[in-house]
Every structure is written in C-alpha cells, then in structure tokens.
Structure 1
Amino acid sequence: MAQWMPRRQRFLDELLRLEGRGDHRHQSKCANCDVTASVAVWHCKDCFTDALFCQACLVRLHCDSLLHRVEVWTDADLFERVTLKSLGLRIQLGHGRNGICPGTVAKRAAKEGAVGLADKTGNDGNAGGVPGTERRSREDFCIVDSNSIYEVALDFCTCGRAEDHDIQLLCARLYPATTTNPATAATFRVLRDFHLLSLEAKSSAYHFYNKLACQTDNSGVFQPRMLKRAGRGHAADGIEGTKAGECALLCPACPQPGKNLPEDGSWKLVPRERQFLYALFLALDANFRMKRKDVSSEADDPSLGDGIAFFSQVDGYMAHLDKHWDVEQEKSTCVAHDAVDEPDRESVGTASSGIGTVDCARHNMKRPNGVGDLQKGERYINMDYMLWNSLANHDDIIQLFISYDIVCQWHKNIWTRLAGYGPELRGRGRNRHYVWLIPKFHLPAHIEACNILFSFNLTPYVGQTDSEAPERGWANANPLATSTKEMGPGARRDALDDHFNDWNHKKIMGLGKFLLERAQKAIPNMSEFRLALVEAKQGLPEADLERWTKEMELWEDDPANPNPFKVADRPEDIFAICKRLAEDAEGARVGDAADDVRGDLHAHEMIDMGMQLEEQQRALQWDSGAVKLHATDRQKAALLERSNKLGRKITEWLKIRESFAPIVVPLRMADDQARATAARLQATPALPVHTIKLWLPSRLASVPGVIVKESHARMEFALRIGKAETALGELRRLLLVRTAKWKHKDAFTRGVAANTRAKTVIDATEWKLKLQVLAPDDVRARPRATFSDPEHKSRKKKKKRLEGRAATEEMRKKKQEERPASWIWLSQLTDEEGSQGGMVEALRLEWAKSRARAWRWTEEVDLLEQEMDRVLRFLRWKEAWWTKLQDQCLSVVEDPILSQGFTAYAQRQSEIQRHLRLRFEGSWRDIPRYIDIAREGLGVIPVKFQC
C-alpha cells in the first residue's frame, strides 16, 4: 500500500472520469447498428464495454443477459439508472425458442427461459415461438440476483400443457418465493452465493438481503471510495489538501457551525435556558472486543488516509500518549469500576487492547477524529484526547452534555489534566458550559450519590436522551473483530473508518423515520406528563410548592446549589439498623452487654430472627385465609408443608429464646397447654402455627410481674422502627406502582385476554400492599414504653389505620384538590399536640420527579423540532456544496473527458441530497401542527419551553 499511495490522486481522477461518458463523449451513433440517426445514450454497467447503444440494440443484446444494470445519459449531464423492463424487455416462460412446452417429458430445461421483445400480440418475439400461446403477465415481478434486485415484466404460459407458475420459474433457473401465485424469485446463482457466504462468513439472510438492497438503490448505497464522496477529487489541492476528519460523514441533526445553524449567529445569543437547543450531546465509551494482535508495524502497513476520517492522526495521538504515559490514574471512589481501578487490563499479547470512541449521543453516529486505539485499557489520557480532538471546528458551541459510564471519576481532575496537554487540545476546553452525565443503562451500577448527580432523568435540558449510542454502535461493529484483530495497524484503521462511515451513512438515510418516530412518541407524552404534573400538585400546600419550586430553579441555574433530588434526613431502614446493632455488639464485650451473647449469636440477631418468624406467620395467615372452601388437594398440601416447616423453625428459635430469657420456659408451657385445650374444644388436630406466641421483649412486657431486660427492649424497638420505615417506603412505592398499572391498563389494554393479564398483575401488587399495611400496624400494637428513652416522646405519632377501607361519604363529596394528603406521605406525622411537621421526603421527591418527567418530555419535543430543522438546513447546504464543486471543477480540470465525469458525479450527489431533503420534508410535514396542538392543550407553558 505504501507503493500505491503516490498514485492515489490518479486513481481518484479515473474513478470520477467513469462517472461521465469517458472516451465515448463524442459518440454520435450506436456502437452496434452503426446508425447515425439513432440516439446512442444507453450503456450497460455489467457489460465489459462502456460503449453507448440505441434502445433497440441494447435490448436485443440483453435478451440472454436480462439481469444486467443499464443506465441512460440524461439532459442533466449524468447517468441515471433505468430498467430493461422500461425499455421493452419481457421474460417469456413456458415455451422456449424451439417451441417445446415444459409439460412434455422431453422438455429441455437448458433451452427454456427464452427472452425477447414482446410483440403487440403478447407472444414471444423470437423466431420459433408457439403461435397462439396464451400468457398471463406479471408487470411487477421481482428477481433477486447477486448484483441487484430487479423489477421485470414476466409472462407465464397458460396453455393446456403448461406447468404451474412455480415450476415454470424453476425451469428458468429461478427459485420462487412462494408456490402460490409467486411474484418474487431468486436466481440459483444468488442462492449459491448466500449459501457459501453463510458457511464461510456466517452472514445472516437479513444482512445479505440488505446488501443486495443497498446495491440496488444508488441513492442509498454507501460507496467505499471515501475521498471521492468527500469531494476531494473536485478540490484544487486534491488529496494532499484533505483536512483532519474531512472524509467522515457528519451528523446532520447535530449543530454544525457554518452548515445547519442560522448564519446571522442569533443562536449564540439565546438565553441560558435555551442554549440546550444548540448544544452538543456526546457519548464516550470503549470496546475491548476490537483488539489488534501485535503484528506488522506502522512502517510496513501505513494507513491510506491518516486522520482524514474517524481515527485521529497517528503521529499526534502517539506523541500525546508518550508524553503523558506516566500520569497516575486515581482509584475509584464509586463502585469498583475496572476501567478506573484496572486500566491496564486486556492488553497481554496485543498492540491495541481495543478502541475508544466519541459518538453523537442522540443520533448514534461516530464523530470525526473521535476514535482511537487503546494500548493498555481504558486510560483517561486516551479518552481525553479523543474527546477534545473531536471538538475541532466546534469552538462556537457553548454548551456540551458529555456522558461516559465512568464519568463520576473521569471528570474529577479533567481540567488539571487538560492544562498539561498540548495547546491544540487546551483551547477546546475554554469558554464552554459542560454537563457531565452517566448513560441511563449504566447508571444503576453506581452508588446512590451518582444516581442523583449524573442522571439524565433528573438533569435539566437533556430531553429523553439515554446516551447509550456507543453500545448500539458496538453491536454493529463487533462482528468485524474477528478479521480486524489479524490486520496491520493501517489496514485495520482503514477498515474501521470505512465501516463507521457506512454506519453513519445508514443513520443519515434513516433520520426521516428515526426523528418522526421519536416525535410521535414525545408529543403525546409531553401532554400526558404535563397534565400528570398538574394532578400531582393538587392537595399539596401552596407554601411548600413555592419553596420546592424555588429550590429546584436555584439548582437548575447552578448545580452547586443543594440538589432537590437528594433525600434529606433519611430515616434508618431495617438494614441500616441491623448494621448499627452489629457494630454495637462488636464494640461491647464486657459488662452487662457481654451477657447479650449466646455462643455465636447476639441478642439483636435472635430478636431479628423472631421478628422474621412473625412476618412468616402473618403471610401464612393471609394465604390460609385466601384459600377457598373447595381448595384443591395440591393447594392444601402446599399450605400444610409451609405450616410444618414454619412450626419446626419456631420450635428451634424458642429454644434459643429461652437461653436468653429463662422466664419464657413457664410461659411457653402455659401457652402450649392453652393451645392444646383450645384444639380439643374445637375438635381440630392443632391450632394454626400463626397462633404460637414468640415471646419477644415487647410481648413479655405485657405479662404482669415480668421484668424485661432494657438492652433487649431497646433492640426490638429499634428493629421495629426500622421495619416500619422500610415497610412504609415499600408501601409508598407499591401505591405508585399500582396507580401506574391502573393508568396503563385503562389507556392501552384492550380485549379479554389482555385485561385478564393486566388484572392479574394488579392483584399481585394489591396482595403485596396488604402485607405491607400490617407491618406499621404491628409496630403500633407493641408496647413501647418498656424502657426509659428520652427520644420516645418525640417519636410518638398520632397514627391512622392503613387498612384499604373505602372513603367516607363526606370525603367522597370533597373535590380531589380539597382532599388532604394521606399521612403516609407526610415526613413528620401529626404529633400528640396536633401540630403538623411538613411533607415527607417521599412526597417532595415524587413531586420533583413528576416535574422532571414533564419537563424532560417538553425538552425532548423542543430538541426534536430543532433537530428536524437542522437536518433540512444541512441537506440544503450539502446540496449547494456539491453544486458549487460542480462549478469549481470546470476551472480545476482541463481534460474535457475528465471534467464531464467530475460534473456528472457532483450533479448526482447534489440530486441525492435534494431528494433526501424532499423525502424528509414530506415525512415531517404534519409535525409542527401536532406540536402546536399539544402546546395549546397544555395551557400556559413556561417561557423556557416556548419556541
């Protein structure tokens, strides 16, 4: 390849010359019939000659080559594809040129499938046809071949001896797609090609067909001739003047200064709350499947286009790494991210352990100069270079939203690292507003603080961006790993550049459908969630709403202010209390506390076990009550097995309980005698297991004359408070889940089967709710004043029952907005004096999240509206750009034959951009009206969301 590189410009010129008529530019008569009067403007792309023919000769020459691709030279000075069908070629099945019908045993399949021009009677135009043969025509028959997918005019034979249509196709070496009235067939050649490709390259039928579809549609086909498509052949400075990243296909929907933004610069002067409409959304990620073995070298295998597309220029990238290779990488303060704590992994025996990329986060496209090799894992210095290098030509962009799955660690010292980099990188970090986020799918793997600080759902001005674009790109690129890992460095970069350009091209061609589908989802969701926010405000105190709104706006203006989504004064749940009690037990080994240990078991563990047995008793009681009168033997057996197992667990636990409190022995014996007596009176084998008393400290305190150990009482009280808080949190969650499921059922569920399934899911949620209702009630039922606790009075609350009883008639008569919020949503419930302490964090957080959901969907609609406008602006610019190149090439190229090819290619590319723009405009023509309707239905919309 190093020997070929000096001849790149000559090769590019020849490729462009072939776009015109070349040496046949002055041909005035048909190359076959030699008739001067004929219009010789047709040629065949699959025939070896580039000569021009008249229509009649072209069709006659292709009677036995009916699956060739032909083109016509138009008045626009370019070739356009036409079909042989449009020129009059018809395929005749059933009767061959020798008049032999396929219905005879002596048929000769090799001679069947005759092709020729149809005469006015519809019979075979070739000599020897069978006179009077009846035929049934298919004007839109589709034939799939290795080169393309063809639409042909085909005539089936329908005479008395004719075979079925599928057999007639087989006789012509065409495999029918169906046996009933076939309208599509594949040649034996394409079936053989696919078979071999599936065996050797493991290609799927889906990908093979898409390849044929791309070959068929010239306006959507990606040409690997990167320099040709980038217009470098038309430039005065040619290939040598190609700038970094210039051959990469750009995302039309992202802001591209000078291409799809207002030329007057008004977009730079918008208020802070509107800057997100002109922001860049970038996503970083690494892929360790894209390794390269330690083979070849840069000297032996240089890249054909170093830095002109997606990979950065090699010398500059490696110089940056060599200079900063010894920079220490801080350990993770979040969960144990391998990318942070083990950055040198996956590098043994490789020259490149993978690649990193910078993607357009909203439209799934690779960024120019945003790809680089990783030598030893996912090091910060590699990813830093890719990010800052990809921001070339975007110095005017003020706001950037940057996501990375380890952004919580990577961004901490990014400005310190950037200050030590070269001037070509340092200047791209200035005078911008950055927002650091974690992709939605990766976020749950982080600690809770990261889930609040770096969430796309909570952060303002991001719409419904999920930033998982790199993962979608990896799914498409990973099949290349098997072949590219064996390549030299230059060949591998060229192959990946080619693939990424193809990926971007497909995304560009699909932008019309992609943005349309997102708008169809976002517009109704904007209305729905804005109305849900209005409903969420009903019944909430105005003073609290004003205070929460102010706190939210302060945080949105400056993230340094307190985050409104962070839970303040979170109560201890059962897990936190168990941890605290375990720490207390570890520190207390002497004195009275030392008596709280029996063997390996501490008193708080024994009490916790007893409370878990209580929960199992309660669940068994509920399940037993739900069993109908005519329950099956299987249901009865399952309950009996559960009851027996629980009884054995309680028996073993009571033995442990007696070792901590010997007073339990006589109480247990008395309880057993009472249960036995009750069983005899009721004529039952035994009373249910859930009636067994467990004699926890709170129950012992109710027995006259029994003194409960204070440390045990404190432990049980703490554990019950923790269980109540946990149950209350789960109760709130289940109530919200139940509401969401009912709304989803009412809005989307239709039909008996679907309603039954939905009701089953809702019933399961209802059952969980009933179990959670009992937990706080159980806390209130236990005596608490079993020890002297100074905090006890402050924690006593005037509780309301949580049973799911119907509202009273007086409550039903009140309007929804006048009904008071249930106490379960209050942070400090009404105390003994009746003063209200305020709303709970759960209610405040639910309002904040409801507001965030509504605003994210509103932002999404605003972003989509801007992106559609930018796409159309970009396509207009690209169309004009190719037209300008068409004019420039006349002054650049002196050879008239070469000039015609240059002009034809530029004209064709300009037409492609125009047709693409018109198609998108047609798809999106109703979107502005739908957006206006949705906004009008919302009433007054905040200024920051108006366009």
Structure 2
Amino acid sequence: MAYQTVRMNLQFIAEIVKGSNSIVGLALCHFTVQCHCTMLSATILFTHSTSQFWTYVNGIHNVSLFFCNCATAKTRTIQILCSRWYPATKTDPQTATTFRLLDNFQMYTFESKGSAFEYWQTLSRLSDNMGTKPPKDRYEALLGMSRQYRHLLALKRAGRAHNVRGVLGTKPGELAVPCPACPQPGRNLPPGWESAPPNDRWLFALFLGIDANFRMCHCNKSSEEADPSLSTGWAYFVEESSFKGLLAEHAGQTQEKSSCASHNAVNLADSKNVHGLAATGIGAVVCARHNFKRPSAVGDLQKGENDLAVFNISYNIVCQWSKHLWTCMSRYPSTLHFSPGSKTITFLIPKFHLPAHIPACQTTFSFNLIKGMARTDGEALERAWSNINPVATSTCEMGPGSRWDTLDDHFSDWNWRKVCNFGPFLLQKLKEAIPQRNQHVLDLGDFEEAIPTESLASWHQMVEEWEADRSKPNPFESAAVPVTQASVHLELSQAEADQLKCGLDVSLHAEVSPSVLIAAGTDLEAQQRRLASDKAVVGMHSTDIQLSALQQRTNTLRHRLDHWTDNLGPESEEEAVHNIKLWLPSAVLRLPMHCDTNLTQIEWQLRVAQAHEALHELHQNLRLKCHLMGFKRDWIMGQHAHTRSALEVLAEALLEVEWMNQFPKLEKEQAASESQTEGRRLVAISWIWKQYHGAGQEELSDVMRIEWCKARARASQWSEEVELLQEEMRRVSAFLEWQTDWWKDHATPRTWLDEMENKGASAYAHQQAGIHQAMRARCISIWSVVPGLVAFSLVISPT
C-alpha cells in the first residue's frame, strides 16, 4: 500500500515540477491555513523578494499561508508546487520546502557526501543557534521530500513527461546518464560500422569493467515492503525482486576454489562475516575507458548492448570468472543469455591487479599485450569507488529503497560530471598519447636494427598468429627455465651421491656434506644482511612489538650461528650477531689463505645460481612496477653487491674469466630506468634483460623475443590510443547532436497534455536541446586543435 501511494503521488505531481531557475531561498516551513482568498494573494506571497520573504531564507520557520478555494482553483498541493515549494504530503500539506533548498541539499550531498541528518542540523542551527526556540522536528519530512524531488528530477531529465508511456512506462536503465563516448548503435556510430573490416572492428568495441565494493555494505534495516525504491531497475540498480529471486534459485552452489594465486576474494567468498548485513557490498559494471556506471548494472552482493559485436571485459578475477561463464549462463533465464557465437569477447585483468596473478595469467589476460586495447587500464571502477565510498556511512543504515535511490542519484551525478568534462578530458589524453606513440614507434625501430632479419621475421609470424588465434603459442611467455639455487643444490647432492658410490667421501663432518655446509653458510649470510638492514632503519620511536620481533630474530640467528661454529665463544658473544664472521671459502681467500678447492667450487656454483636467481627476481620486480620496494633494500643494496664481490674472489682462485660478461656491475641508474610501468617503458635494453641465466644462446633469444614483443605491443597500443581517442571524440559529438535532435523532436505538442502542460513540456525540451547543443559546441571548439596536433606529429605506425 505504501508503495502504491508513493507512485500515485509521483504521477500526480510529475508534470508540475518545471525546473525554473528563479531564486527562492533555502527554507523549510511549517504553515497553517488562515482563510480563503484569491490565487493572486498566494502568488504575491511566494514570489516577491521582499524583506518579508527573506525572513524565510536559510532556516526552518512557521508561516501563515493563504490558499485559493475558488471553484476553479487547483488543489493546495498544486498551488504550493506552482510557487516552487515542495509539499511533504499530497493531501492537506502542512510542511513544505523550497525547491532551492532541495537543490542545495542535493548538491551538498554530491560534493561533501554528507548525510541528511547533518544537513538538518545545519538548518536547525541557522534557525536557532542558542537553543531557546528550537524548531519543530521536520527531519523525517525532509527525507521524504528530498527523495521524491530527486526522483522527479531524474524522470524529468530522462524525458518521461514527454513520452506517452509516462512514468510507469519507464524501462530498465532509462533514467541512467549514458556515456556519450561508448559505442551506441543508432546514436553515435557511423553508417556501415557493422561491416567494418576485421582490422577496424576494435574501434567499435565496448570496454566493460566489473568489480565489487565490500565497503558499501548494508545493515539489515527495514524491508522492501516498508521502504520500496521509487525507481528500482530504472537507473543503475537492477530490479531487486527478480535479482534476488534468481540468486535464491542458485543459493546452493559453492564457489570453485581459485587455481590462480592471491585470490582470497574467491576462496573465502562463502566465509565472509555477514552477520546483521542485508548486503555485504555492491557489484557494478562500468565502461572501462570512461568510468561511467552502466544502466541497470549495479546490484547488491548477497555473498562475497547486444547490438555490438566486440566486447572487452575486465575483472580482477577474470581468470576464474570466465572459466565456466557460458555453462553458468545457460542455467539462467533466457533474458540474461549472451551468445558468444557472433561476438568477439576478450577477457582481461586490470593492470594494477595483474601482478597478483600467476605468470600464465599475466601474459594471457594483460591489457598491455593484447591487440586492440589501446591504453585502457581497466581500473576505472577502482577510481570510481573512491568517490562513492564516503556515502557508505549514511547509506549503510538506510532502508533498502532509500539506499538504492540515494546511490542511483549519486551515480547519475558522477556520470553527468564526466559528460560535462569530456572536452578537456579527451583532448588531454590525446596530447599525451601522440608524443608517446611517436617515441615508442621510433624506439621499436631502433631495437629492431639490432635483431637478425631471420629472427625478426620468425617473431613477427609468431606474434601475429597468436593475435589471430589465442590458442597458438604465446610469444610473451618464456620457455626457458632460469638457473636457481634449488636446482644447483640438487645437482650438487647428486654429484656427492655419485662420489660416495665410488668410495670417495670429501665431507668435513660426519653428518654434513660439503654442499649442505656451504648452502647453510650462504643462507646464514643472507639472514645476517637482512637483520643488519632492518636494524639500521629502527628509529627511536619504534614500538615494543617491533623491537620484540627484531630481538626474537636476533636470538634465533645467534642460536643458528652457535650451531654453525659449535660454540661462538666468549669473544663472539659481545659482537653483534650480524657481524660475526662465517668464514666461507670466499672470505678465507680474501686473507689470503688456502682453502679446499672442492668447497671453493661448490660456493662458486651456488653464488652463480644466487646471482641468476636474484637477477630473475629483479626482472619480475621491474616488470611488476613495484619500484623494487623491499626487494631493493634486501637485495640490490645488500645481497647483489655481496654476491658479486664473492664471485670476484672465487673467480680468481678458480681461474674463471667469462663471468664478468654474464654479470656486469649493476648500477642504480640501470635499475631505476627499468622501473617504469610496462606501458610506458622504453626499450633501452640494458644487460639485465640480455642476461640468459646460464642457459645458453637459446634463452638469450627467448628473452630478446619477449622484449621485442612487448616493445611492439607498446608502440601498437599508443598508436591505437591516438586513433581510438579521435573516434571517441567523434562519438561524443555525434551523441550530443543526436540528443539535441531528440529533445527538439519532443518539443512538439503532446496530445495527452493540456495547453499549459504542453507549453511547459515544450519549454523544457527546448532548454535541454540548448544545453546539449552548447555542450557539443564547446567540445568542437576545444577539439579544433586536434587536426593540427595530428598533422604536425610524426606520421609513423608500428610494424
């Protein structure tokens, strides 16, 4: 019953709200009827900007009003609305607020994310800041009026008053603000786009990003019957009853465990604490390039354009989500089916989330490596959550309908602000993309000059075959396995086993073999250096927990060192544990003293493996744009330097001369130059990328092929970005032109409206047409420099 009453109220007043820009002040009033009068007296009271009027401004007041009760008079509700005051009830209204206050409150929540209660408190204090004459409590009335008012604005801006189907004929998603730059058939795509050649189809792809936000949880407050949404399914949130019904049908299904790394969001989905929560968060779909919330694409989480032909779908766990997508979809109603047969669908992982995945995912689902992605990063939703998260504090305690309507309103504001900013936004991105494209294409050309023609032709064929068919061998994956300390440990242990079979025992201890001895020593050495590094950064304000953890590590290391030397002795007890000498062969040879050749050879092999392993980890850290963080502290500034120093001493004793070609000195500048993100990193290949980990020339070729493929992908994607940005500019202009014409068409008289309503509807339609025409003119003016930018840039393209 409550829901039907609200709907009737909206139908009754939907056509009355005309949206005039006259200033009527910020006031919320409680009034009483004094006597009958003419309509003229009420008009004078509400519109004259006299001192009498301004006593109502910025506060809460009790006033006396005169309503017209003539035979031809409108109802009191309409009389109030015509004067740009919004009544709290449909019948016998005794509380109202000015449109200006409701507009102010809406903008206040958009910008500050403040709650209605905070705004009400502000009005109360503006009315009486001493507490001597506190105003009557009209907080609940303000909530109802603001919610209805915002809903009516959304209906009006979507042209529902101009449609014969009216309010109740609104279709799902029609109240959402669409993205002008995304491809929309019939609105902003050029004629013949459906038959575009395969190499151009990527220009008309829709980029979609999926993500969940667990901060936007909802407490178990009220119910949908007591607090229904005014527009459920009409804007961004999906129609809730059907959505929950579908979830209930499949409630027994359990989440398949992740086969990828670092995905507790998948593995622990069924174990999250949901006590007292009606929803643990919200999931949403946005356009991944422009960060617009998609229509009917937001839904509460209960647990953890069919016309288009090309879809790029990104999700931080897409490697798991896409596995059984089509099988799962077949269980849902046919209205939710999405046939993959006639579509080109690419699954991707957002760039920031990619490093958390296993290596196979990092090459299979990377925006940086797949053709047709331009410079999209897929992280649009993460940036959007930061804007909406502050609203969680107030929406968490709302009833379900109030929460959905409030979030819909905020999502519309987010989208609208982006529409208004498309002019400078796309131009700035193009200004950045053009020089980046030029530099990366030139850089690729320089790189290719150093590659043999036969290898380059082979690599071209391999990468082009993979781009055409992703089941082909991935050119970005390395088939070579780098040398590791574990593999050398195994090799040394097998060699010792062979020696024992021949009756040769070179062990220095009955229970410890030579390889185990040296391996234990290098491990202790690494622990000493990490402990020394951590102690060096301990400040005078360190907590007891930090100091306790550091002391425990010191005690453990001292205990292990005691076993290493049988007994450290009293002279070592006074020495810092990280400074105690281990006397590995490399340290003995520095004195200089003689050392067992077998032990020296073992340390040499382990040190070489240690250097290869550390270099491989350096590759990973640079590629994952971690800027070396803790790894840089523990290895580049410590272990790397010591490993190379030990190699120098051991090489002299063993007459090794080729090792310096494998491991030149690593300068800080070389590592820093490689720490750029993958999409911006110039080739400038230093020796750290040409090092082949001891596997021979075959792996060197493997590494060089991967780096060439990445350089090619960077050049290609920056070129695609320049092209796609120009297409998006064209689409924005075309969409705004279409929207201008749409409003002009709706400015003609409507047969279902009376004369006065037709005049209001026509005036509003012309106003909207003018707004969109002006926005298009501004974009065209801002983008007038684009032909010059493109013409004067280097006209080059990637190979």
Give the alignment's TM-score, normalised by structure 1: 0.59
The 3-state SS of whatever aligns with 2:200 is helix
1:933 to 1:656, Cα distance in 2 relative to 1, 3 A: same
Paired-residue identity, %: 35
The residue number in structure 2 matching 1:891 is 751
Correspondent of 1:497 among 382, 388, 408: 408
Residues 335 and 447 in structure 1, CA contact (< 8 A), matched pair in contact too: yes
CA separation in 2, counterparts of 1:396 and 1:718?
62
CA separation in 2, counterparts of 1:241 and 1:736?
53
CA separation in 2, counterparts of 1:244 and 1:801?
63
CA separation in 2, counterparts of 1:607 and 1:507?
62
Deviation of 1:703 after TM superposition, in Å, equals: 9.3
Amino acid corresponding to residue 9 of structure 2 in structure 1: R
Deviations 1:349-407 (A, max 9, x none): 11111111011111111011101111122xxxxxxxxxxxxxxxx12211111111111
CA separation in 1, counterparts of 2:638 and 2:491?
31
User: Aligned ranges for residues 665-676 of structure 1 at < 5 Å?
Assistant: none
1:721 is the counterpart of 2:613: no
1:927 is the counterpart of 2:789: no
User: Aligned ranges for residues 815-830 of structure 1 at < 5 Å?
Assistant: 825=690, 827=692
Matched pairs, number: 647
The 3-state SS of whatever aligns with 1:13 is coil
Amino acid corresponding to residue 854 of structure 1 in structure 2: A
Deviations 1:889-939 (A, max 9, x none): 43331x111111111111111100000111111111111321233242x3x
Correspondent of 2:255 among 329, 349, 355: 329
The residue number in structure 1 matching 2:664 is 802
1:450 is the counterpart of 2:344: no
1:721 to 1:417, Cα distance in 2 relative to 1, 3 A: same
Deviations 1:425-456 (A, max 9, x none): 12454421111111111112222222222221
The residue number in structure 2 matching 1:487 is 398
1:842 is the counterpart of 2:707: no
The residue number in structure 2 matching 1:357 is 284
CA separation in 1, counterparts of 2:734 and 2:203?
15
Residues 290 and 355 in structure 1, CA contact (< 8 A), matched pair in contact too: yes
Deviations 1:581-633 (A, max 9, x none): 89999x99x999999797998754531354478899999xxxxxxxxxxxxxx
Residues 460 and 852 in structure 1, CA contact (< 8 A), matched pair in contact too: yes
User: Aligned ranges for residues 60-71 of structure 1 at < 5 Å?
Assistant: none
CA separation in 1, counterparts of 2:330 and 2:288?
26
The residue number in structure 2 matching 1:435 is 346
User: Aligned ranges for residues 246-645 of structure 1 at < 5 Å?
Assistant: 246-262=174-190, 264=191, 266-344=192-270, 345-377=272-304, 394-574=305-485, 576-577=486-487, 604=515, 606-611=517-522
Deviation of 1:339 after TM superposition, in Å, equals: 2.2
CA separation in 2, counterparts of 1:290 and 1:652?
50
Deviations 1:154-203 (A, max 9, x none): xxxxxxxxxxxxxxxxxxxxxxxxxxxxxxxxxxx999779989x9xxxx
1:911 to 1:820, Cα distance in 2 relative to 1, 3 A: closer
Deviations 1:533-578 (A, max 9, x none): 112223221211221122111111111111111122121234x447
The 3-state SS of whatever aligns with 2:14 is helix
CA separation in 2, counterparts of 1:376 and 1:148?
36
Deviation of 1:504 after TM superposition, in Å, equals: 0.9
Correspondent of 2:158 among 230, 237, 240: 230
Deviates more, 1:410-419 or 1:322-331: 322-331
CA separation in 2, counterparts of 1:395 and 1:553?
29
Deviations 1:267-315 (A, max 9, x none): 1222323222111111111111212222222222222112111111223
The residue number in structure 2 matching 1:676 is none
Deviations 1:118-137 (A, max 9, x none): xxxxxxxxxxxxxxxxxxxx
Amino acid corresponding to residue 725 of structure 1 in structure 2: H
Residues 352 and 373 in structure 1, CA contact (< 8 A), matched pair in contact too: yes
CA separation in 2, counterparts of 1:922 and 1:433?
36
Q: Which runs of 5+ in 1 are unaligned?
A: 20-41, 53-57, 70-144, 150-188, 200-220, 378-393, 620-648, 661-688, 742-760, 786-794, 806-818, 943-947
The residue number in structure 2 matching 1:853 is 714
Residues 318 and 349 in structure 2, CA contact (< 8 A), matched pair in contact too: yes
Amino acid corresponding to residue 276 of structure 2 in structure 1: G
1:783 is the counterpart of 2:654: yes
Deviations 1:504-553 (A, max 9, x none): 11111111122122112111111111111112223221211221122111
Q: Which runs of 5+ in 2 are unaligned?
A: 28-37, 42-46, 59-99, 105-118, 130-148, 531-555, 568-578, 668-683
Deviations 1:39-93 (A, max 9, x none): xxx97655999989xxxxx999689969999xxxxxxxxxxxxxxxxxxxxxxxx
1:605 to 1:233, Cα distance in 2 relative to 1, 3 A: farther
CA separation in 2, counterparts of 1:655 and 1:479?
55
Amino acid corresponding to residue 654 of structure 2 in structure 1: P
CA separation in 2, counterparts of 1:525 and 1:652?
56
The 3-state SS of whatever aligns with 2:232 is coil
CA separation in 1, counterparts of 2:691 and 2:199?
33
Residues 883 and 906 in structure 1, CA contact (< 8 A), matched pair in contact too: yes
Deviation of 1:846 after TM superposition, in Å, equals: 2.2
Give the alignment's TM-score, normalised by structure 2: 0.69
Amino acid corresponding to residue 251 of structure 1 in structure 2: C
The 3-state SS of whatever aligns with 1:14 is coil
CA separation in 2, counterparts of 1:800 and 1:584?
26
CA separation in 1, counterparts of 2:447 and 2:613?
24
Deviation of 1:777 after TM superposition, in Å, equals: 4.9
Alpha-carbon RMSD: 5.1
The residue number in structure 2 matching 1:87 is none
CA separation in 2, counterparts of 1:517 and 1:486?
40
Q: Larger Rg: 1 or 2?
A: 1
CA separation in 1, counterparts of 2:364 and 2:698?
28
1:247 to 1:594, Cα distance in 2 relative to 1, 3 A: farther
CA separation in 2, counterparts of 1:15 and 1:922?
34
Residues 181 and 729 in structure 2, CA contact (< 8 A), matched pair in contact too: yes
1:315 to 1:657, Cα distance in 2 relative to 1, 3 A: closer
CA separation in 2, counterparts of 1:876 and 1:490?
35
1:862 is the counterpart of 2:723: yes
CA separation in 2, counterparts of 1:439 and 1:820?
26
1:290 to 1:826, Cα distance in 2 relative to 1, 3 A: closer
CA separation in 2, counterparts of 1:355 and 1:338?
18
Deviation of 1:841 after TM superposition, in Å, equals: 3.2
Amino acid corresponding to residue 250 of structure 1 in structure 2: P
Deviations 1:230-265 (A, max 9, x none): 111110111121111111110111111111112x3x
The 3-state SS of whatever aligns with 1:357 is strand
The 3-state SS of whatever aligns with 2:750 is helix
Residues 229 and 402 in structure 2, CA contact (< 8 A), matched pair in contact too: yes
1:707 to 1:821, Cα distance in 2 relative to 1, 3 A: closer
1:870 to 1:579, Cα distance in 2 relative to 1, 3 A: farther
Residues 352 and 375 in structure 1, CA contact (< 8 A), matched pair in contact too: yes
Correspondent of 2:584 among 694, 705, 729: 694
Deviations 1:6-29 (A, max 9, x none): 23222111114x65xxxxxxxxxx
Amino acid corresponding to residue 242 of structure 1 in structure 2: T
